[in-house]
Amino acid sequence: MGTRMEPKVSPSALPPEVATAVAAQDRALAALVALAEALGTPDTVPTALAEAEAVLGQAQAALRRLEGVQEAAVAPAVALGTLGDEDEQRLRRLGAVAEVAAAALEREEGRARQWQRWLRAGHGLTMGLMVLCGTVLSLDSARAALGVTEDGHLLLALAAVAVSCEVAWRGLETSRRHLATAVGHQRDMALRLRDRARRVAAARASAEATAATNEAMAEVLGRLEKVTLALGTLVTAVTRDREVTPWGTRGQGFPSAARALGDIVVALEGHEEVTRRLEVAQGALAGQG
């Protein structure tokens, strides 16, 4: 009964909860009309109301299930919105730039390491010369042959060279550690940018692939929400009228239901057959709303 959804995607692409929701919508429309028409013969209202309450519970359950499915289905679009309108190619370019910077820093670190090896070798050579020269200069004959004194400046010069090599090595070690840290940061940035580019691409592809399905589910969900609300409104109105004038009371009337039908007819615009019958039922209650 009423206007059915015209699927914009293959039914096989829609989750089974959609078919369940459409069936629940049809039952809810039928129960709505049955309850409205029963108001003209108060003796039949209790049965129609009980049926409407049962169908309402089923429709609400179907609504909750479909809402859960839709929430899961729109997750890719939510993820894309979280990522923003970022440009996948721009992220990849930035990742490449970070990778180039890491490579350049790595080369600098390699040069610093090479200089450290040279300085370590120079330091070792200088220390060896100091030991050798100290031994040679301890001999009177060697000093006489070289024309130097025991307290000559040669050992002092070698010691200064050794200290200079050690200081330079330590300075390069500090620089090398900083360069290694910078390389790690650049590599980490490149990795994160590439990973973000992949997530942006995946989210966009997933959102585009599920767009039609999400639209179809949203349409069904919207219709079911509207019909469920209408049925719930009429059930509540009839129950309220029953509390005012219990069944079997002389002059049983349904003023709340009559007013509710006026609102429901407007809300269900598009369900032509349903609204036509509801208008007839409302006309039969003329003067009660």
State which amino acid sits at residue 250.
R
pTM of the model: 0.54
User: Model confidence over 72-100: pLDDT tens digits?
Assistant: 766 655 555 555 556 778 878 888 888 88
User: Model confidence over 207-241: pLDDT tens digits?
Assistant: 666 767 778 888 899 999 999 999 999 999 999 98
**Predicted local confidence at residue 12, as pLDDT:** 44
Q: Say yes or no to pLDDT of 5 above 60.
A: no
